[in-house]
Amino acid sequence: MLLLPLLLLLLPLSSKPQKLPTRDEELFQMQIRDKAFFHDSSVIPDGAEISSYLFRDTPKRYFFVVEEDNTPLAVTVTPCDAPLEWKLSVQELPEEASGEGSGDPEPLEQQKQQITNEEGTELFSYKGNDVEYFVSSSSPSGLYQLDLLSTEKDTHFKVYATTTPESDQPYPELPYDPRIDVTSLGRTTVTLAWKPSPTASLLRQPIQYCIVINKEHNFKSLCAVEAKISSDDAFMMAPKPGLDFSPFDFAHFGFPADNNSGKERGFLKSSKFGRHTSPKPRVDLHRVCIGNKNIFTVSDLKPDTQYYFDMFAVNTNTNMSTAYVGTFARTKEEAKQKTIELKDGKVTDVFIKRKGAKFLRFAPVSSHQKVTFSIHSCLDAVQIQVRRDGKLLLSQSVEGVRQFQLRGKAKAKYLIRLKGSKKGASMLKVLATTRPNKQSFPSLPEDTRIKAFDKLRTCSSVTVAWLGTQERNKFCIYKREVDDSYNEEQKKREQNQCLGPDTRKKSDKVLCKYFHSQNIQKAVTTETIRGLQPGKSYLLDVYVIGHGGHSVKYQSKLVKTRKFC
């Protein structure tokens, strides 16, 4: 067991001797729960992990006493964010200092005289950032001292020592194969699998697995992970059964906004002597605890990107962890986007998946002063970007029919990027031309609604009006009887502006006529649709047809005849 009597000689002068808790004392568990008990103490308690801090090039020494010979002993040192140099040594205790005696403790000055000034016998030394162990099944009695040094930077570390390693087992045991396997690899997903810890499968202790994902390197301890990110961040809750958690649902892989990021801690703000700390850049690192399952899919990763994956088995009773052998994997490349070639003056149909994108290329054969792009978005608005020889010329949202005229350049090549809607798939018609008179799409007014006149409504007819333009175009009006339950939502689903009159039944056609007005204020036309049934609902559509034969549909109008006249 680890005892205290002679450790007081090496601590700052004190009038009261301090008792080291041992595993035989009832007080042990209560004292361990009191975190302040061992704060900044040089005593290592038996069977409890302590956390401490090292300043660079400033050594630190810890002590413990093993009272009896042939005592099992295990010491574990966990570096956090920097390599450590540490050494474990022992020196014999004077016979008078044996714990076999009884009575009051000897005066402090008398105990000091009994301690030898000789250096102890070195048992073990290590330099590096691995979690390293000293284990002995039979250790001699004596005063043990653990010396630690960080030459790289200020750092955290953890120490655990016990004289009952067989029964304690606070760290989860690793399986015979402690590697993480990558079982599936996609462009945005990686599936990981690992063998369960025997601590969970055989000893039935509560174990949960915590995954750490980042793009820099593997971590050798959970302590190192916690040193990398804010120690205030709590582990995320385990996902619902059957659903893998997706920790990358953000614009930038992989954190939500933190209102406290970049701020100094409170005690540094108010202290004149606090070390200066500058805000650190956000780290691309995420961790999530997933309970006791041993397969997990990480999703929403970036294509063609290397990620590092670490797995830690955490004993939820002791909150102590063991690292599996980390792995790394590169996600698959994004499927190469096929570029659609546009021909001068020819309309091209484009289909874009929900949230997808398409690339189009236009390379005029002849020299040109201007180039015109006409875009007809059949459904929802889409985003368009136009680059000429890599230089961005245009970036806008397009709804309905839009026309853009850009300055030309000899031998120029134009790249058009179309990004689809978040609501659903997008359909477009695209025309690129260097001939300004070659316009396949008809011109449209600002307002493409159809207006119905309620006072002119009868049992067999309705009167409607719509706006035209200064350009002479052909207008065709169609009707379709619908149920009384037909609503605006159904109408919206059918609002594909690119579906022309050729998709309609001949019986739906009411009439076609040409119309325009040089005075834009008077570019209005009306039409009365006759031969309707009393009390019935009808969906009216107006199509404007351009010189190239391409049509654009106005917004559909739902009307109803009077039931009684």
Contacts of 418 (CB under 8 A, 6+ apart): 350, 352, 357, 358, 359, 360, 382, 383, 384, 426, 428, 430
Which range among 96-100, 394-398, 540-544 shows the weakest confidence by mean pLDDT? 96-100
Residues 319 and 213 in one domain: yes
Range of the domain at 348: 340-433
Highest mean pLDDT among 16-30, 438-452, 485-499, 500-514: 500-514
Same domain as 491, residue 550: yes
Section 90-119 average pLDDT:
52
Return the SS3 of 489.
helix
Please check whether residues 399 and 496 belong to one and the same domain.
Answer: no
Mean pLDDT confidence for 106-128: 62
Average pLDDT (333-360) is 86
* 65 and 163 within one domain: yes
Total tally of structural domains belonging to the chain: 4
Question: Does the structure show a pLDDT above 80 at 439?
Answer: no
- pLDDT bin (cut points 50, 70, 90) of residue 48 is confident
Same domain, residue pair 377 and 422: yes
The pLDDT confidence band at residue 119, using thresholds 50, 70 and 90, is low
List the helix and strand counts (H, then E) for the chain: 7, 32
Residue 215 and residue 319 in one domain: yes
**Does this model's pTM top 0.85?**
no
Residue 459 forms part of a structural domain: yes
Asked if pLDDT for residue 297 goes beyond 60, the answer is yes
Integer Cα distance of 42 and 11 in angstroms:
7
Per-residue DSSP letter, 501: G
- Do 313 and 218 have their domain in common? yes
pLDDT over 70 at 4, yes or no: no
Say if residue 398 is in the same domain as residue 487: no
350 and 458 in a single domain? The answer is no
| CATH (domain of 555) | 2.60.40.10
pLDDT, residue 209, reads 94
Which residue, 61, 58, 87, 59, is CA-closest to 75? 87
Question: At which of 433, 464, 480 does a domain end?
Answer: 433
Report DSSP state, residue 511: E
Q: Is residue 238 part of a domain?
A: no
Tokens of 515: 């119309």
- 330 occurs within a structural domain: yes
* pLDDT tens, residue by residue, 171-227: 888 999 999 999 999 989 999 999 999 987 777 788 999 999 999 899 988 888 888
What pLDDT, in 10s, does the model give residues 358-387? 999 999 887 788 888 888 888 888 899 999
Q: Decide if pLDDT at 282 tops 80.
A: no
CATH of the domain at 59: 2.60.120.680
Residues 87 and 221 occupy one common structural domain: no
Residue 30 lies in a domain: no
User: Is 103's pLDDT higher than 50?
Assistant: no
Task: Average the pLDDT over 308-326 and give the result.
Answer: 90
d(CA 381, CA 404): 16
Q: Which residue, 398, 433, 468, sits at the end of a domain?
A: 433
Cα distance between residue 239 and residue 231, in whole Å: 22
Identify whether 551 is part of a domain. Answer: yes
Does 356 lie in the same domain as 331? Answer: no
pLDDT at 471: 85
Report the pLDDT value the prediction gives residue 23, as an integer from 0 to 100: 47
Of 319, 270, 317, 311, the C-alpha closest to 289 is 311
Asked if pLDDT for residue 330 goes beyond 90, the answer is: yes
Tell me whether residue 63 is in a domain. yes
DSSP structure string for 101-141: --SSPPPHHHHHHHS--SPPEEEEEEEESS-EEEEEEEE-S
Contacts of 454 by beta carbon, 8 Å cutoff, 6+ apart:
none
Of 485 and 534, more confident: 534
Q: How far apart are alpha carbons 268 and 138 in whole angstroms?
A: 47
Residues 387, 475 share a domain: no
Q: What mean pLDDT is predicted for residues 412-422?
A: 89
Decide which of 292, 320, 335 is a domain's last residue.
Answer: 335
67 belongs to a structural domain? yes
- Residue 459's pLDDT band, with cuts at 50, 70 and 90, is very high
Asked, for residue 319, whether it belongs to a domain, the answer is yes
